[in-house]
């Protein structure tokens, strides 16, 4: 799948901005993308500092475009677009000051069409990176929320986990009188749908398991209800994707356990797309696979966002920056595949 992404990117010229242009991992990955003719990198930061960092990293960045927010010629237009996007939540003065922060500036380069993709998070936290994306890019058509997933890879086994990085928990949205206008389970069903589509875009045949400490009512509690109801709504709204739940992880992946606990289910025992009840379960779960299970973790991949932008882990290495750049830019090209 990645080979395919690379080939298409070589044939369809795309640029990608890196908010953390002075970071040696970013510089090395940017040079590799340029040398292999996959993407045109744009580094955000001060030219002199980037040049110095590049020399120390053993890279030549003289032909790579560097944009310094402090010297950006179109800053006035960018400020106006930003104020409009924030819809009364930011004055022009505040927008101008905010844009001096590279993660906001990079997000606005993408929003104003100056670059085709944006990657950030080697230095900024996930919360900072994602907040800029949510505030400015918002959701893409057909989505009411943004979520994230991780692709876990070990040899020929691939799994998709969500949401491990963005939505902390799911709550009902209430009107002023306390009536539920959107249930938590409906939100989780949407996250599951976005995740199934991402899994498909990565060449998987998604079988969606709504995970819990309970299988089909063996346990009780609000989180069990959430997963059962979300699964019910998912099946009703998105019948194109096989799904089942609530279920425990062993039931989801061990065929004998699956058939014993959920006889007749086509998902139990064969699931590859896993929906977690909250970010704690999801985040701990994917890291267990990564560090105890020897899986390679790709992500977090943002889903439902109004533009191709992704978050890096602060512990990322050059290879991860390189791969996430390819995935992020490909998300722009394969908008139909990634579209929800
Ligand atoms: C993503 C996150 C930063 C957003 O929360 P926040 O900073 O409190 O931001 P807010 O709730 O004020 O939301 C900011 C904007 O994003 C929007 N937003 C928040 N969550 C959203 C979602 N899931 N989908 C779409 N929009 C969302 C809000 O509506 C708000 O928009 P507005 O400013 O135009 O009104 C927060 O959910 C978070 O910290 N998540 C966990 C990140 C993390 O630590 N991950 C673990 C490491 S991988």
Nearest to 335 by CA among 112, 42, 8: 8
Predicted pLDDT of residue 340: 42
Which fold would CATH assign to domain 145-303? Rossmann fold (3.40.50)
Chain-wide mean pLDDT for the chain? 95
Question: Per-residue pLDDT tens for 29-74?
Answer: 999 999 999 999 999 999 999 999 999 999 999 999 999 999 999 9
Q: State yes or no: pLDDT of 115 exceeds 60.
A: yes
Q: Do domains 1-143+305-340 and 145-303 have the same CATH topology?
A: yes
Domain boundaries, the chain: 1-143+305-340, 145-303
pTM: 0.94
Question: Per-residue pLDDT tens for 291-334?
Answer: 999 999 999 999 999 999 999 989 899 999 999 999 999 988 87
Residue 300 Cα to ligand 1 midpoint, Å, equals 15
| Residues 1-143+305-340, CATH architecture | 3-Layer(aba) Sandwich (3.40)
- The Cα 5–Cα 153 span in angstroms is 17
Band of pLDDT at residue 336, cut at 50, 70 and 90: low
Predicted pLDDT of residue 333: 82
Residues with CB under 6 A from ligand 1: 126-127, 130-131, 134-135, 139, 145-146, 165-168, 283, 300
Question: Per-residue pLDDT tens for 251-275?
Answer: 999 999 999 999 999 999 999 999 9
243 within 8 A of 249, measured Cβ to Cβ: no
Band of pLDDT at residue 4, cut at 50, 70 and 90: confident
| Long-range interactions of 334-337: CB distance < 8 A, separation 24+ | 334/5, 334/8, 334/201, 337/197, 337/200, 337/201
Residue 52 Cα to ligand 1 midpoint, Å, equals 35
Q: How many CB atoms lie within 10 A of CB 42?
A: 22
Residue 148 Cα to ligand 1 midpoint, Å, equals 12
Nearest to 35 by CA among 7, 64, 55, 65: 64
């Amino acid at each position: 799948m990645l080979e395919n992404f690379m080939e298409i990117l070589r044939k369809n010229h795309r640029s990608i901005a890196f908010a953390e242009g002075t970071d040696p991992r970013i510089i090395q990955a940017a040079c590799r993308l340029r040398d292999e003719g996959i993407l045109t990198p744009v580094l955000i930061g001060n030219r002199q500092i980037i040049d110095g960092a590049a020399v120390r990293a053993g890279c030549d960045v003289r032909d790579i475009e560097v944009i310094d927010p402090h010297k950006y010629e179109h800053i006035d237009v960018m400020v106006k677009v930003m104020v409009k996007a924030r819809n009364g939540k930011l004055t022009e003065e505040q927008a101008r000051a905010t844009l001096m922060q590279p993660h906001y500036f990079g997000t606005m380069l993408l929003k104003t069409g100056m670059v085709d993709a944006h990657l950030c998070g080697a230095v900024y936290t996930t919360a900072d990176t994602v907040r800029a994306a949510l505030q400015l890019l918002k959701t893409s058509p057909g989505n009411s929320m943004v979520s994230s997933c991780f692709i876990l890879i070990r040899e020929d086994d691939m799994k998709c986990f969500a949401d491990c990085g963005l939505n902390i928990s799911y709550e009902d949205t209430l009107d002023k009188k306390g009536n539920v206008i959107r249930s938590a389970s409906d939100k989780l069903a949407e996250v599951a749908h976005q995740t199934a589509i991402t899994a498909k875009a990565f060449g998987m045949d998604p079988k969606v398991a709504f995970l819990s400490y309970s299988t089909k009512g063996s346990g009780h509690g609000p989180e069990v209800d959430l997963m059962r109801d979300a699964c019910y709504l998912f099946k009703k709204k998105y019948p194109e994707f096989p799904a089942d739940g609530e279920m425990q992880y062993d039931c989801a992946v061990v065929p004998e356990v699956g058939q014993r606990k959920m006889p007749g289910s086509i998902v139990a025992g064969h699931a590859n797309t896993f929906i977690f009840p909250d970010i704690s379960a999801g985040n701990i779960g994917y890291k267990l696979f990564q560090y105890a299970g020897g899986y390679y973790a790709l992500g977090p991949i943002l889903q439902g966002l109004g533009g191709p932008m992704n978050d890096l882990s602060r512990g990322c290495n050059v290879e991860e920056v390189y791969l996430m750049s390819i995935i992020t830019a490909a998300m722009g090209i394969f908008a139909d595949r990634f579209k929800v």
